[in-house]
Amino acid sequence: MENKTLTELTVELKSKKISSSELTKYYLEKIKKYDPRLNSFITLTEEFALKKASQIDTEISKGNFKPLSGIPIAQKDIFCTKGVRTTCGSKMLSNFISPYDATVIRKLNEAGTVMIGKTNMDEFAMGSSNETSYFGTVKNPWDLERVPGGSSGGSAACVSAGLAPCATGTDTGGSIRQPASLTGICGLKPTYGRVSRYGMIAFASSLDQAGVFAKTAEDCALLLTHMSGYDEQDSTSSRESVPNYLQECKAEFKGMKIGIPKEFLEGLDHDVHLIFDEAVKQLEKVNCKIVEISLKSSKLGVSAYQVVAPAECSSNLSRYDGVRFGHRTKDAENIIELYKKSRSEGFGDEVKRRILVGTYALSAGYYDAYYIKAQKIRSLISREFKEAFDKVDLIIGPTTPDVAFKLGEKLNDPIAMYLSDIFTVSTNLAGLPAISIPMGMKKNLPTGLQIIGGHFQESKLLSLAHEFQKMTDWHLQKPDNQKWI
């Protein structure tokens, strides 16, 4: 069952070859059997899921079939979900029950999905390895001694392990694409504003974007179609019309002009470079013209990101003060002590580090020297991308410099950890859409091919990703589940 794609499952559900209840029970049992070793879920919503699946089966029997009727889905624990604990991977929100649904949750519910649980993540989405979660580290299904990437590592791991056919994630600097690459699945980050951020707990508001994980580009296209659209509750959401991404993804492919930034090949692992070269050859077979381009400012992406993101997080996380919601210390004699102790106890080390960096960058004496300069670099990166897309249809490169690293390997070296996102952060700074798809294996560990498009060009990048997957079978490879027992 776990080998079937989302599009295949929708056909079987519609034809009543399988019921939503059967499908939901199947995945819930797999989670109970295998997830204790992987730790990809924080909360399992079994009772809710079985009840919803039963209701959908009744609707299907009456001939009422929605686009995603009966499809089990895992939701990243950053999306507020009515009546369900929403923790953001933090002690600060470990007892928070959301009174409302995020727009992403609502839209997917309306499309017919069945939420089977909330997935583990780096605390407040701050991390690249899923080792900062208050609820413990998530393991990579391909090798339990390695990280799955982050911050959406729980979502990526559960889809890679076949514990869910699809999952949501969020991407602030690569937090969908990087874990997708390290776990051998597809991960799509849409254009900033394409999907509403309402009810998505904020890390860095000008960078955060919701997206999806699935086995194929087709599946990502199907999900994106029903997640997207203008939301009056999110002032940054776009009014741009939403196409049928699945239909456009499957349309006849015509050759494209593809740019490869020379900067994306610097510092690249030798074996990953060879795998990428083979992927490029595959694209040339379908009349893609490959040209070298330059994105000089992309080298400054990590530096700019590590000023902008912490600055915004220091502002966003100021609301967690132990007064209105979230963790409250039991030992405080006055209001100042309440603030200090609640925040000290509720936040982990990485979150504290970024709050301090952000507060420093926004302080009166350093605002111009750091934050303003980082925003200027951001503008420069956006301009270079725009100029590049005047010459090419899409841009490609490896998603990450190497395969998944060992647990603990970079945990005490923040700079090394931040550099694992070196190929992904620039697209967030520019607000561009991008997808990571499997492109090959290095010593039984997956690598990812990143495809970047211009603003609202998701159809183009999904089309190229789909064409690549028609020629290759890397997306069909799966880890050995005997390792997880």
Which residues are catalytic, by number?
76, 151, 175
208, 190 contact by CB (below 8 A): no
Other CB atoms within a 10 A radius of the CB of residue 408 amount to 12
Order of all β-strands in the sheet with 209-214:
41-44, 114-119, 72-76, 167-171, 209-214, 186-189, 434-442, 445-452, 394-398, 257-261, 289-293
Residue 86, token pair as written in the block = 């929403």
Round to whole Å and give the CA distance between 419 and 5. Answer: 33
DSSP for 296-318, written as a single string: GGGGGHHHHHHHHHHHHHHHHGG
CA distance 229 to 455: 15
List, in sequence order, the alpha helices (H) in 347-457: 349-362, 373-389, 414-418, 425-430
Question: ω into residue 205 within 30 of 0, thus cis?
Answer: no
User: Nearest-5° angle of CA 301, CA 438, CA 183?
Assistant: 80
C-beta separation of 126 from 347 below 8 A: no
- In sequence order, which residues have a C-beta less than 8 Å from that of residue 470 and are 6 or more positions away? none
Contacts of 145 (CB under 8 A, 6+ apart): 139, 406, 407
Cα–Cα distance for residue pair 485/483, rounded to 1 Å = 6
Residue 292's CB is within 10 A of a number of other CB atoms, namely 9
Report the candidate in 94, 77, 96 with the shortest Cα–Cα distance to residue 168.
77
In whole angstroms, what is the distance from residue 365 CA to residue 117 CA? 45
H helix intervals, 62-170 = 103-110, 153-160
* Contact criterion met (CB below 8 Å) for 262 and 292: yes
Q: How far apart are CA 432 and CA 346, in angstroms?
A: 33
Q: How far is CA 223 from CA 166, 215, 478, in A?
A: 9, 12, 21
Q: Look at the block and give the residue holding tokens 């211009």.
A: 454
User: Tokens 């005047």 — which residue?
Assistant: 390
